[in-house]
Structure 1
Amino acid sequence: MKVLLATFLLLSLVLSSSLVQFTRAAPTPAAPPAAAPSECDSKCGTRCANAGYKDRCLKYCGICCKQCKCVPSGTYGNKSECPCYRDKKNSKGTSKCP
């Protein structure tokens, strides 16, 4: 009976240690830090200040800011300051970012 109990405990120990190894998750690579929402909101507010369709401008500027983590200065132009922002295109081939 003592041999059976010792065998059972040893088997339990081996199985539990192997299960612990399977349940450990591999570390995932860290994502690049995203621009703070308030930072995007303020930059896009400045960028879209003179826009005819301000709500649409703010929407697309916000999308571009989150993806590119930058917004060009001023209300128009200066897109060379942020190449990612400049190079984003919509399905029609025109600039996605205002």
Structure 2
Amino acid sequence: MTSECYSANIDAYGEHGHTLEAEKVFNCSEERNMFSVLEFNVMIKAYGIGKLYEKACQLFNNMEKYRVVADKCSYGSLIQILASADKPHIAKPYDAGAKTSE
């Protein structure tokens, strides 16, 4: 499958609150060792929908380990879920990073 297909599956599960299933698809994507930023962005979004904010931050922080560079959507998704969860103090450092990635 392509990154777009993995991303679509992760997003579909995440949108319906099926975080465990989204993680399984993400892990399958990891096994092929060809991540794109798309899989990360939709998994961050899925964690946000599932209110798993710490996992979303951990995943974002580990992107470099997988040689994936966060884009504007990565920062935007993470900042949005943290701010909507009334955690702007956690989102603030990511906002600074978003401004430098533009």
* Structure of greater relative contact order (alpha carbons < 8 Å, 6+ residues apart): 2
Larger helix percent: 2
TM-score (norm. length: structure 1): 0.28
Highest Rg: 1 or 2? 1
